[in-house]
Amino acid sequence: MELKICHLYPDILNLYGDRGNILCMEQRLRWRGVDVVTEGVSIGEMLDASQYDLIFVGGGQDFEQEVLLEDLNGGKTAELKAAIEDGIAVLAICGGYQMLGHYYETWYGQKCAFTGAVDLYTVGSKQRMIGNYMFSCDELDTTIVGFENHSGKTYLGSGVKPMGKVLSGYGNNGEDGFEGARYNNVFATYSHGCLLPKNPKLCDHILQTALTRKYGACELQPMDDALEIAAHDYMCARLSQK
Ligand code: GLN
Q: From the CA of 115, how far away is ligand 1's center (Å)?
A: 16
The DSSP code for 196 is H
Q: Is the pTM of this model over 0.85?
A: yes
The answer to whether the CB of 172 falls within 8 A of the CB of 156 is yes
Band (pLDDT 50/70/90 cuts) for residue 1 is: very high
Q: From the CA of 149, how far away is ligand 1's center (Å)?
A: 7
Query: What is the model's pLDDT at position 219?
Result: 86
Query: What is the model's pLDDT at position 90?
Result: 98
- Residue among 192, 194, 203, 232 flagged as catalytic: 192
CA angle 25, 28, 30 (to 5 degrees): 105
Catalytic: 205?
no
Catalytic: 218?
no
d(C-alpha 4, C-alpha 19), whole Å:
16
Which atom in ligand 1 lies closest to the alpha carbon of residue 94? 8
196-to-169, 191, 216 alpha-carbon distances in Å: 18, 10, 24
- Residue ranges of alpha helices (H) inside 86-225 are 95-99, 195-198, 200-215
Instruction: Enumerate long-range contacts of 228-231, CB under 8 Å, 24 or more apart.
Output: 228/197, 228/198, 228/199, 228/200, 229/200, 231/197, 231/198
Question: What is the per-residue pLDDT across 10-39, written as a single tens digit (0 to 9) for each?
Answer: 999 988 889 999 999 999 999 999 999 999
The answer to whether the CB of 172 falls within 8 A of the CB of 155 is yes
Whether the CB of 146 sits within 6 Å of ligand 1: no
